[in-house]
């Protein structure tokens, strides 16, 4: 369900799209080619505990919507990145993405 993945990525990337989803979930889904019959209600769930969209759960919700009368659209919220100070040893371990134990000689990429 590529449309779902695009939808989630767009909501994560663009606050205006997130607001559009909140205002009109049915219309927002239609913009991604996801049409639902008028008798199916759309419920948006923003789960902050799971930052990865679960495609299997979403497909199951889509398939059951006709029978249950409700389509649950799971759009995980992104947690804001915390600003924290790193200790000197933590900085050493992330410098340029290199393993600090390998920095005592000529870099491996030069040989």
pLDDT digits (tens, 9 = 90+) for 14-46: 989 999 999 999 999 999 999 999 999 999 988
Can you give the pLDDT at residue 9?
87
Rounded CA-CA distance 85/90 in Å is: 10
Rounded CA-CA distance 104/9 in Å is: 41
Can you give the pLDDT at residue 3?
85
Residue pLDDT, tens place only, 59-111:
888 899 989 999 998 887 765 555 556 677 766 665 555 555 555 555 555 55
């Amino acid at each position: 369900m590529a449309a779902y993945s695009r939808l989630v990525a767009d909501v994560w990337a663009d606050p205006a799209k997130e607001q559009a989803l909140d205002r009109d979930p049915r219309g927002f889904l239609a913009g991604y080619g996801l049409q639902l019959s008028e008798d199916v209600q759309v419920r948006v769930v923003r789960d902050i505990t799971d930052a990865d969209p679960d495609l299997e759960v979403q497909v199951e919700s889509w398939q059951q919507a006709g029978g249950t009368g409700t389509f649950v659209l799971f759009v995980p919220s992104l947690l804001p990145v915390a600003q924290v100070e790193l200790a000197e040893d933590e900085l050493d371990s992330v410098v340029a993405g290199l393993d600090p134990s390998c920095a005592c000689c000529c870099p491996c990429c030069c040989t």
